[in-house]
Amino acid sequence: MAKKKTRFVCQECGYESPKWMGKCPGCQSWNSLVEEVVASSSGSRHTLVSPPSDNKKPERITSIASEDTPRIRTKMPEFNRVLGGGVVPGSLVLIGGDPGIGKSTLLLQVSSQLADSSLKVLYISGEESARQTKLRADRLGVMSDNLYVLAETNLVDIVNQIDQLDPDFVVIDSIQTIYREEVTSAPGSVSQVRECTSELMRISKSRSIPIFIVGHVTKEGSIAGPRLLEHMVDAVLYFEGERHHTFRILRGVKNRFGSTNEMGIFEMKEEGLQEVLNPSQIFLEERSQGAAGSTVVASMEGSRPVLVEIQSLISPTSFGNPRRMATGIDHNRVPLLMAVLEKRVGLLLQNQDAYVKVAGGVKLDEPAIDLAIAVSIASSFKDQISKPNDVLIGEVGLTGEVRRVARIDQRVQEAAKLGFKRAIIPKKNLEGWTPPTSIEVIGVNTVQEALKATLGG
């Protein structure tokens, strides 16, 4: 009797090894290699989707006709915005997020809206029965004859049901529960996730059916399974937020059909997720007036400006090495800006603990927030209140200069719309546009000038 061939596959990155190792050479993870049986080549690599009958040949790119692919729009403008304007036919979209954050709720609501638009939608649940999905649908008010629910985890049966129903839209909840019989490893393993996603991708592309896949996340916050999974799909969306808070953020980290910087805000209510059309007002509604260390910045999230509050707390350290902690921004940016304030402005911050936070749970990564962070740190250190009707925009260089940023007109207009009276911006950004009459625009060249304008010194 022939001995079975086995291999060891890393469950984090997909690295394969003929022998077990305690540490994965690919991603440096410990105890992540799991033994899997190598299936025979006769039945492990057959394709469930029949290949096209016509033989395709290479074409000159100049001879290919350019067509605008019509997008399928849902009744959620925030969801359409993150996808780049709507669902592209034949696209494969991966949605990840923490357990209980609302991924299934969001996709069930989207499925209901598409079904109400006379589209045939197939919702495949591998974690709930059809009756359990019905209970959630009743709570959300989902009632449509064009929405079909299937509780199945076998990929062969799923493909057969797609063949019979011929839907316009498919949801897989979740990819870690789907398995293929020819693959000997357990559902949720690297091999199963990779093979099932590859098969779903072939179905999506060959039949022009948009497929949404739900993916679990690891303890580190990344989507479970190999990074290859994110490379295979057309778009990767992350559903973020605290389960104990009502607001959720849908963020695009990869999108072949639109911008990867778009962000959608939702509020979790008893009847489901509802859109937040004015996120700036939500992020600023709990802002405390008259507190030192609080500033407001206009940050661009994709194609729209969002005003958020940045809070800083500077206090004398009790240890040999002062602490530098940041939430919502890159933690390396805080000591950099503190070094600029100490060297160029003269603030003695080397013996101070610094805690910087972006209020509201949003994450900011663009350089235009540097000036607001620097002024916030200086305000807390001096215990001086910055003017509450000021919004600060600008990138700070290592020599203390304030550098120009992009889309300054949209940022200032959003600040004026929310009632702010002054905008502190780089002086180089004053040219080429006309600011609104309801807001005063002040241009600064250095951080010292910005501190003088906001703190009076």
In this structure, are 166 and 102 located in the same domain? yes
Indicate the annotated binding residues for ATP: 97-104
In this structure, are 270 and 289 located in the same domain? no
Sheet holding 422-426, edge to edge: 324-327, 352-358, 304-316, 294-301, 390-392, 422-426, 440-444
Q: Is 443 within 8 Å of 430 (Cβ atoms)?
A: yes
In this structure, are 264 and 301 located in the same domain? no
- Tens digit of pLDDT per residue, the chain (457 long)? 556 788 888 877 778 888 899 998 888 888 888 888 776 554 444 455 545 555 678 888 888 887 777 899 999 999 999 998 899 999 999 998 888 888 999 999 999 999 999 999 999 999 899 999 999 999 999 989 999 999 999 999 999 999 999 999 999 998 989 999 888 788 888 888 888 999 999 999 999 999 999 987 765 555 555 566 788 899 999 988 776 677 888 988 899 988 887 888 898 888 889 998 888 888 887 887 778 999 999 999 878 899 999 999 999 998 888 999 999 999 999 999 999 999 999 999 999 999 999 988 788 989 999 999 999 999 999 999 998 899 999 999 999 999 999 999 999 999 999 999 999 999 999 998 999 999 999 999 999 999 999 987 5
In this structure, are 290 and 333 located in the same domain? yes
Q: Is 165 within 8 Å of 120 (Cβ atoms)?
A: yes
pLDDT for the residue numbered 405: 95
pLDDT for the residue numbered 325: 94
Tokens 């702010």 map to which residue?
A: 420
Q: How many domains does the chain have?
A: 3
In this structure, are 264 and 299 located in the same domain? no
Indicate the annotated binding residues: 97-104
> In this structure, what token pair is assigned to residue 121?
């939608």
Q: Which domain holds residue 29?
A: 6-37
Q: In angstroms, rounded to a whole number, what is the distance separating the alpha carbons of residues 97 and 185?
A: 24
Confidence (pTM)? 0.78
Q: Is 176 within 8 Å of 215 (Cβ atoms)?
A: yes
Q: Is residue 66 part of a domain?
A: no
Closest CA to 97 of 228, 252, 258: 252
Q: Report the largest interatomic distance among the alpha carbons of the chain, rounded to a whole angstrom.
A: 86
In this structure, are 19 and 142 located in the same domain? no
Q: Look up the CATH number of the domain holding residue 339.
A: 3.30.230.10
DSSP-derived secondary structure for 402-447: EE--S-HHHHHHHHHHTT--EEEEEGGGGSSS---TTSEEEEESBH
Q: What is the DSSP letter of 329?
A: S
Tokens 């001086």 map to which residue?
A: 384
Q: Which residues contact 271 (CB under 8 A, 6 or more apart)?
A: 139, 140, 141
Q: Is residue 44 part of a domain?
A: no
pLDDT for the residue numbered 115: 95
Q: Is 343 within 8 Å of 337 (Cβ atoms)?
A: no
Q: Is residue 110 part of a domain?
A: yes
- Coil, strand or helix at 341: helix
Q: Is residue 57 part of a domain?
A: no
Residue 321 burial (10 A CB sphere; 0-12, 13-18, 19+):
exposed
Q: Which residues contact 236 (CB under 8 A, 6 or more apart)?
A: 93, 94, 96, 223, 230, 252, 253, 254, 255
In this structure, are 325 and 177 located in the same domain? no
In this structure, are 33 and 18 located in the same domain? yes
* End-of-domain residue from the set 256, 277, 298: 277
Closest CA to 373 of 333, 345, 418, 346: 333
Q: Is residue 56 part of a domain?
A: no
In this structure, are 292 and 273 located in the same domain? no
In this structure, are 371 and 262 located in the same domain? no
Residue 443 burial (10 A CB sphere; 0-12, 13-18, 19+):
middle
Chain center to CA of 13? 20
Q: Is residue 67 part of a domain?
A: no
* End-of-domain residue from the set 224, 249, 277: 277
Tally: H helices and E strands in the chain: 11, 21
- Encoded amino acid at 352, one letter: Q
Q: In angstroms, rounded to a whole number, what is the distance separating the alpha carbons of residues 315 and 322?
A: 10
Q: In angstroms, rounded to a whole number, what is the distance separating the alpha carbons of residues 171 and 317?
A: 52
DSSP-derived secondary structure for 2-22: PPPPEEEEETTT--EESS--S
pLDDT for the residue numbered 43: 46
Q: In angstroms, rounded to a whole number, what is the distance separating the alpha carbons of residues 116 and 108?
A: 12
In this structure, are 141 and 102 located in the same domain? yes
In this structure, are 197 and 299 located in the same domain? no
Q: Is 317 within 8 Å of 368 (Cβ atoms)?
A: no
Q: Is 364 within 8 Å of 372 (Cβ atoms)?
A: no
> In this structure, what token pair is assigned to residue 239?
């559903």
pLDDT for the residue numbered 283: 82
* End-of-domain residue from the set 242, 277, 312: 277
Q: Is residue 184 part of a domain?
A: yes
Q: Is 282 within 8 Å of 360 (Cβ atoms)?
A: yes
pLDDT for the residue numbered 218: 60
pLDDT for the residue numbered 340: 96
Q: Look up the CATH number of the domain holding residue 153.
A: 3.40.50.300
Q: What is the mean pLDDT of the chain?
A: 87
Q: Is residue 50 part of a domain?
A: no
